[in-house]
Amino acid sequence: MRPMDATVRLEWAAVAVAAVVLYAFTGVSWWLFLVLILAPDLSMLGYLAGPRVGALSYNAFHVLVFPLLLAVFGIWTGEAVATAVAMIWTVHIAVDRALGYGLKLTSGFRDTHLGRIGRDR
């Protein structure tokens, strides 16, 4: 692994830790965290319709813009559950990036903006 790769992964790990800490401040049950932490990966079902639809659906649930908008909404309105869900979603994305999983390319599930996933990496 190149030094920059390690730095970027460490940065994403820090984002994950920060989001877990912020989740704790919401006061929402940790059961919700456990139930929803893998929910964004349900977007992989889009691959049943082919790699183009799959990449689009997967990427829609694996970019930070949507959980950040949800967090702003939750904080603005005082909706702790919305803020908590946003933090869970952020943790999921950050852990994926820390592990080296990126946004999908339309050429196939294993092709990401961070490189190819798997043995050929």
Nearest CA to 46 among 97, 110, 121, 109? 109
Beta bridge partners of 105: 108
Residue 104 — very low, low, confident or very high, per pLDDT cuts 50/70/90?
confident
Q: What is the mean pLDDT of residues 79-96?
A: 98
16-66 pLDDT, tens per residue? 999 999 999 999 999 999 999 999 999 999 999 999 999 999 999 999 999
pLDDT over threshold 60, residue 120 = no
